[in-house]
Amino acid sequence: MGLCSLADADRAAFEYARQITAYYSKSFYLSARILPPDRRLATYALYGFCRHCDNLIDTPRRRTRSEIFREIQFLTEELQIAYNTGESEHPVIRALIIVAIRYSIPIEYPLDLLKGITMDIQQARYETFDELTFFCYRVAAVVGLMMTHVLGYKDKRAFKYAKQLGIAMQLTNILRDIKEDKEMGRIYLPQQDLARFGVSAQDIFNERMTPQLRALIKFQTRRADRYYFEATPGISLLRTDSQYAIYSAAKIYQGILRKIEAQNYNPFVGRVFVPRFQKIGILLHEVLRTKLLSAQEKLCPVHSGINR
């Protein structure tokens, strides 16, 4: 039975996840809408869970650190019980566990995400890029790994590339959100890189757009681009009828880097975004390209196994 034939209570959980996706990530929502129905619903469920976890610390509230830790611990325990029993009354876990069972998503991925959220409470600085990439793995790359199970893949190497793409997208988020993050006392740019470029934390907190800071942002932008470049070959390892959504999402996110370049690497002049008309253009281009690719595969079939 597909996800489109859900019981009413389960359907309500997926609708809740869809609304979360539509509200918090217009880019992700737009890309997901062009997926086949079952995978579209599954994508909403994954995003709904991930966004709920992120909001525990990103949404301004009056809760203390210890109270937020208890929330994360509750989610961890509820997730473990859901994986054992196959059900949950928690709205975001209810949809997630249905998807996790259907697409064989290991529990380690959502648990790693919760560990990443815990890191974000405990740590407002990262000394090295290796430390930062470990954080990016937990809060973003595991999302790509879960999505690979949902989208289906022709080759298990797709998971390695999904990890790279998740890190690329998180590095993009970090560059886009420097102003917002510093207002919450967070600087995600590695401390070693700040020292290497002669940038102080006070330069960021006081929004001093020095030549050194501009050079640092340019360097980090190029670093993120490199991760996109390394990740792109892996998209062709996904099911053909899923590829366009990920190509589109990657190009839309890379568009954020181009907007950062266009404002001369100044993160303080306003939050950058890719206009809706541009996103739609990217989506239409990728849908057409995928349809042509699918037609070619039917004419010249390649014998390879496809999971899901």
Span 124-165, pLDDT tens digits: 899 999 999 999 999 999 999 999 999 999 999 999 999 999
Report residue 146: phi and psi, to 5°. -65, -40
Does residue 47 lie within any of the structural domains?
yes
CATH number for the domain spanning 110: value is 1.10.600.10
Nearest-CA neighbor of 14 among 25, 23, 3, 24? Answer: 3
User: Full-prediction pTM beyond 0.85?
Assistant: yes
pLDDT of residue 112 exceeding 90, the answer is yes
Give yes or no: residues 145 and 272 share one domain. yes
What's the per-residue H, E or C state across 247-285? HHHHHHHHHHHHHHHHCCCCCCCCCCCCCHHHHHHHHHH
Q: How many domains are contained in the chain?
A: 2
Domain co-membership, 286 together with 141: yes
255-274 pLDDT, tens digit per residue, is: 999 999 999 999 998 777 66
Give me the pLDDT at residue 291, please. 56
The confidence score (pLDDT) of residue 30 equals 78
Residues 164 and 285 in one domain: yes
Q: Are 145 and 271 part of one and the same domain? A: yes
- Model confidence over 192-238: pLDDT tens digits? 999 999 999 999 999 999 999 999 999 999 999 999 999 999 999 99
Q: Output the CA torsion 239→226→187→184 (10° steps).
A: -40
Q: Is residue 299 part of a domain?
A: no
Question: Is residue 84 in some structural domain?
Answer: yes
In whole numbers, what is the pLDDT of the chain averaged over residues? 89
Q: What pLDDT is recorded for position 297?
A: 55
CA atoms within 13 A on the CB side of 116: 27
In terms of domains, do 7 and 128 share one? Answer: no
pLDDT of residue 303: 44
